[in-house]
Chains A and B, each alone.
Chain A
Amino acid sequence: MSILKLDRVSYRYRSNTPMVLQDVSLQFESGHIYAIVGRSGAGKTTLLSLLSSLTAPTGGTISLNDQNIAKIDRYKFRSQYVGVIFQNFNLLPHLTAVENVVLSMNISGKKFDRKEKEVALSLLEKVGLSKEEANRRVLQLSGGQQQRVAIARALSYDPDMILADEPTGNLDLETQKEIMNIFKMLAKEGKCVIIVTHSPDVAKNADFTYELKAAASSKS
């Protein structure tokens, strides 16, 4: 059963500009990794923004568990329903890795069995960061480590769906593999992982690949 469904979704930035996405209909299921590929300007990042409710489609509907996400508070949607991993990580540099994760947990408003910091540390450990690294400010971490923090932050409130924008774009091959392994692990745990990427290697590791073409998409 599909967790996320796009039905004839269209988008344009302004009324007098051409369509970036037109009549895109896609379905995503839990427990799988999806790769969205396409040439630059095909609308991959725009699609991710629509899926994470950072913006709203100009046509069509996006449904999460058969509920139109337009009817869900966009802040609630982003803080509880979907975990977003941004291309540039978008971590708060004045906070430590663990503080970034805890802040996300706080914003979600979710209650935890253990102390939030303990949960955050275990999440960071899960994605490969030591306790010492977890207590460093994010600017003192490498790109790969920052990406892990971003993943841990996206997982912090245990969403059903993970959206990642070029998660391996700035990383070396070894780290790319490690990150992909984390995504595979998450998929195995039953989460739906949607990755926007240019990388053929990442696409190979996905269960399904959607290719976006100019104002269209095809599944392979």
Chain B
Amino acid sequence: MYLFKNAFKSITRNKLRNILLGIIILVIAVSSCVALSIRQAAVLSREDAAQNMTITAQITFDRQKAMEEMGGPQDGQETGTDGKPDRSRFDFDVLQGSSLTLDEYLSYTKAQQDGDSYYYSGAFSLDATGDLLPYGTEEEDSSSGQQSASGIQNFSSASGADGPEMPGQAAQGRIGETGGDMPGGMGGHRFQVNQGDFSITGYSSYQAMTDLFRAGGSYSITDGELFDESSAEYDCIISSELALYNGLSTGDTIVLCNPQCEEETYTFTICGIYENENAASQENNRFAINDPANAIYISYPAAEAIVSASEQAGNTTTDQKGEETSAALKNTLAFTYTFSDLSHYEAFSKKVYDLGLDDDYTVSSQDAESFENSMIPLDTLSRTAFWFFVVLLAAGGVILITINILNLRERKYEIGVLTAIGMKKTKVALQFVLELFAVTFTAVIIGGGIGAALSVPVTNTLLENQVESASEEQAKLSENFGMKPDGRGGNGDMGRGENPRMSNGFSGESPAAQYVSSVTAATNGTVILQLAGVGLLLTVISGLAALISIMRYEPLEILSNRT
């Protein structure tokens, strides 16, 4: 007990020195509190966002990896005997026929956890028949020889077949793959594609359509109702533009045909009409199928039934080489896994390989990527805050040790007297540590309070700068790619996906990030504990100097020298 009394007396006796010490520790405490709060804010923001967001992910074939494996050197410079690139080494059957089957996709749902789910959709295209016209096309003379307004389309695949997803085709895949019945498709070959006027998308569940009909989304049913997701009936919903253009209403039927075999027809009953507010901005005039107004939605069982019926019909077509190939419709499957938590997605990404997924496939998530991108400024700030904290602590530690060593030299006589009259060195050291502890914790408590008050505005100000810096960097990058600062490509054909996260014109580019730009709370119990740890650490560091010095002192020596 007397140690506490002595310590208190020593503190009050050396007011000026202890005030100086307190101010230094106060500055360290305030700065540490802000730095730790920033780190904590980053952690909390990450946790909150990760817990509250729904992650969707897909398993995709890693075509680049497969091509590298087929083609040897990654630089692609391997040439044939004529000096031209040897394209024969690429096996397109493998490269194109690499989609997983529905059963395979379903088998990997075992890697999901409670609260996770999945959905899928199938897509193909059909042509108009009779008086039905796709929106945006005009009635043509039947003698023109064309199958439909835009039934036969010529593609040049020089830009590759990896274009962005289009409205109404978000789940179907990419141009050049839709329908899956197109020959070629790679390497700049000019090829003819039999593509329908209408994109038909069959959804496995309503959940699968939440991207379209989500709250605040651009799609809404304006007449009739949505089809029964479990029904294989050919019920469909069509766009209001298409309905208006053809004078259709709910209850009417439309007859569509296989683009490669117009005798193969399918009759759909319109159960609902939807309106897409963004249809005009998503419009693509080049092909009818690319116009969102020509997107028709049905249930997945219905889509499956149509594809099955098409296969059973056994129709064939003759390609440019004169070879007879099947004209059956092919369903392009898009399977989406949804996760209630980011950690579930991360676990899934690893576990699917244990369940037998080939290394040629990758698990990717636009949501996860967007999430990581959104955290960039805060993470950067957090890292900076951490190093600032480390430097501050190191510098503070050195200053405190120096002050304490000077303090000890000044109080050497006192140590000599105390040990000479029988006070153990450990007790003397303890008294000194108690003094440090009292000063340190008083300063840490005051500093913590000030730091807590400052942490949110300081964090938000620093974060604002970080966001600004990151945004400028992204804008500059976009400009370097010839895009508008908002991420839209200059080419009207690209970069106008319905998903705002996919607004970059180039496939594979990072999505335009919505950065975390503010925090509401930064200092919490964890920060306070960490701050207490800082106080303890500073006490121990400076107390250690005291302890070592005291242990070295011998009372006889001190008192003799004084004499």
Q: Are A92 and B422 in contact (CB under 8 A)?
A: no
Which residue from chain B places its CB closest to the CB of A77 in the assembled complex? Answer: B422
Task: Determine chain B's interface SS by DSSP, over half rule.
Answer: helix
Task: Determine chain A's interface SS by DSSP, over half rule.
Answer: helix
Give A215 to B559 CA distance when docked, in angstroms: 24
Give A94 to B11 CA distance when docked, in angstroms: 11
Q: Mark A147-171, 1 if CB is under 8 A from B, else 0.
A: 0000001000000000000000000
Chain A residues with CB below 8 A from B422, complex form: 75-80, 104, 107-108
Give A94 to B14 CA distance when docked, in angstroms: 10
A75-B419 CB under 8 A given contacts A94-B9, A94-B13: yes
Give A77 to B10 CA distance when docked, in angstroms: 26
Which residue from chain B places its CB closest to the CB of A99 in the assembled complex? Answer: B9
Q: Is A218 an interface residue (CB 8 A)?
A: no
Chain B residues with CB below 8 A from A77, complex form: 422
Q: Is B563 an interface residue (CB 8 A)?
A: yes
Q: Are A92 and B414 in contact (CB under 8 A)?
A: yes
Q: Are A106 and B414 in contact (CB under 8 A)?
A: no
Given contacts A88-B563, A94-B13, 20 further A-B contacts (CB under 8 A): A54-B420, A55-B556, A75-B419, A75-B422, A75-B423, A76-B422, A78-B421, A78-B422, A79-B422, A79-B423, A84-B420, A88-B559, A88-B562, A90-B416, A90-B559, A92-B418, A95-B9, A103-B421, A106-B2, A153-B421
A sample of 19 cross-chain residue pairs with beta-carbon separation below 8 angstroms, ordered by A number, consists of: A54-B420, A54-B555, A55-B556, A78-B422, A80-B422, A84-B421, A90-B416, A90-B417, A90-B421, A90-B559, A92-B414, A92-B417, A94-B9, A94-B13, A95-B9, A103-B6, A103-B421, A104-B421, A107-B2
Q: Is B214 an interface residue (CB 8 A)?
A: no
A86-B420 CB under 8 A given contacts A55-B556, A94-B13: yes
Q: Is A175 an interface residue (CB 8 A)?
A: no
Among A76, A87, A90, A95, chain B packs the most CB atoms within 10 A around the CB of A90
Interface pairs A-B: 7 shortest CB-CB:
A79-B422, A106-B2, A78-B422, A54-B556, A107-B423, A94-B13, A75-B424
Chain B residues with CB below 8 A from A75, complex form: 419, 422-424
Give A80 to B424 CA distance when docked, in angstroms: 13
Q: Are B563 and A87 in contact (CB under 8 A)?
A: yes
Chain B proximity of A75: nearest CB distance (Å): 5
Which residue from chain B places its CB closest to the CB of A80 in the assembled complex? Answer: B422
Which residue from chain B places its CB closest to the CB of A76 in the assembled complex? Answer: B422
Q: Is A30 an interface residue (CB 8 A)?
A: no
Which residues 37-91 of A have a CB within 8 angstroms of B?
A: 49, 54-55, 75-80, 84, 86-88, 90-91
Chain B residues with CB below 8 A from A55, complex form: 556
Chain B residues with CB below 8 A from A54, complex form: 420, 555-556
Q: Are A91 and B2 in contact (CB under 8 A)?
A: no
Q: Are A78 and B417 in contact (CB under 8 A)?
A: no
Which residue from chain B places its CB closest to the CB of A54 in the assembled complex? Answer: B556
Q: Are A90 and B2 in contact (CB under 8 A)?
A: no
Give A15 to B237 CA distance when docked, in angstroms: 106
Chain A residues with CB below 8 A from B10, complex form: 94
Chain B residues with CB below 8 A from A84, complex form: 420-421
Give A54 to B419 CA distance when docked, in angstroms: 9
Q: Are B556 and A103 in contact (CB under 8 A)?
A: no
Among A77, A87, A107, A108, chain B packs the most CB atoms within 10 A around the CB of A107
Give A16 to B380 CA distance when docked, in angstroms: 64
Chain B residues with CB below 8 A from A90, complex form: 416-417, 420-421, 559
Chain A interface residues (CB < 8 Å from chain B): 49, 54-55, 75-80, 84, 86-88, 90-92, 94-95, 103-104, 106-108, 153
Which residue from chain B places its CB closest to the CB of A87 in the assembled complex? Answer: B563
Chain B residues with CB below 8 A from A86, complex form: 420, 559
Give A108 to B559 CA distance when docked, in angstroms: 20
Q: Mark B9-33, 1 if CB is under 8 A from A, else 0.
A: 1100100000000000000000000
Which residues 507-558 of B have a CB within 8 angstroms of A?
A: 555-556
Q: Are A91 and B417 in contact (CB under 8 A)?
A: yes
Q: Are B13 and A103 in contact (CB under 8 A)?
A: no
Chain A proximity of B563: nearest CB distance (Å): 6
Chain B proximity of A155: nearest CB distance (Å): 12
Give A175 to B500 CA distance when docked, in angstroms: 98
Among B414, B419, B421, chain A packs the most CB atoms within 10 A around the CB of B421
Q: Mark B404-423, 1 if CB is under 8 A from A, else 0.
A: 00000000001011111111
Among A87, A95, A103, A104, chain B packs the most CB atoms within 10 A around the CB of A103
Give A78 to B6 CA distance when docked, in angstroms: 20
Give A167 to B423 CA distance when docked, in angstroms: 23
Chain A proximity of B33: nearest CB distance (Å): 34
Give A39 to B178 CA distance when docked, in angstroms: 115
Give A103 to B13 CA distance when docked, in angstroms: 16
Q: Are B2 and A49 in contact (CB under 8 A)?
A: no
Chain B residues with CB below 8 A from A106, complex form: 2
Which residues 398-445 of B have a CB within 8 angstroms of A?
A: 414, 416-424
Among B417, B422, B559, B562, chain A packs the most CB atoms within 10 A around the CB of B422
Chain A residues with CB below 8 A from B2, complex form: 103, 106-107
Which residue from chain A places its CB closest to the CB of B3 in the assembled complex? Answer: A106
Give A11 to B126 CA distance when docked, in angstroms: 113
Chain B residues with CB below 8 A from A92, complex form: 414, 417-418
Q: Mark B217-231, 1 if CB is under 8 A from A, else 0.
A: 000000000000000
Chain A proximity of B88: nearest CB distance (Å): 92
Chain B residues with CB below 8 A from A88, complex form: 559, 562-563
Give A197 to B551 CA distance when docked, in angstroms: 32
Among A55, A75, A108, chain B packs the most CB atoms within 10 A around the CB of A75
Give A92 to B418 CA distance when docked, in angstroms: 9
Chain A proximity of B9: nearest CB distance (Å): 7
Chain A residues with CB below 8 A from B420, complex form: 54, 78, 84, 86, 90
From the candidates B9, B13, B421, B555, name the one contacting A107 in the complex (CB within 8 A).
Answer: B421
Chain A residues with CB below 8 A from B418, complex form: 92, 107
Which residue from chain B places its CB closest to the CB of A105 in the assembled complex? Answer: B2
Q: Are B556 and A79 in contact (CB under 8 A)?
A: no
Give A106 to B418 CA distance when docked, in angstroms: 11
Chain B residues with CB below 8 A from A153, complex form: 421
Chain B proximity of A2: nearest CB distance (Å): 23
Chain B proximity of A57: nearest CB distance (Å): 13
Chain A residues with CB below 8 A from B423, complex form: 75, 79, 107
Chain A residues with CB below 8 A from B421, complex form: 78-79, 84, 90, 103-104, 107, 153
Chain B residues with CB below 8 A from A87, complex form: 563
Give A106 to B2 CA distance when docked, in angstroms: 7
Give A75 to B425 CA distance when docked, in angstroms: 9
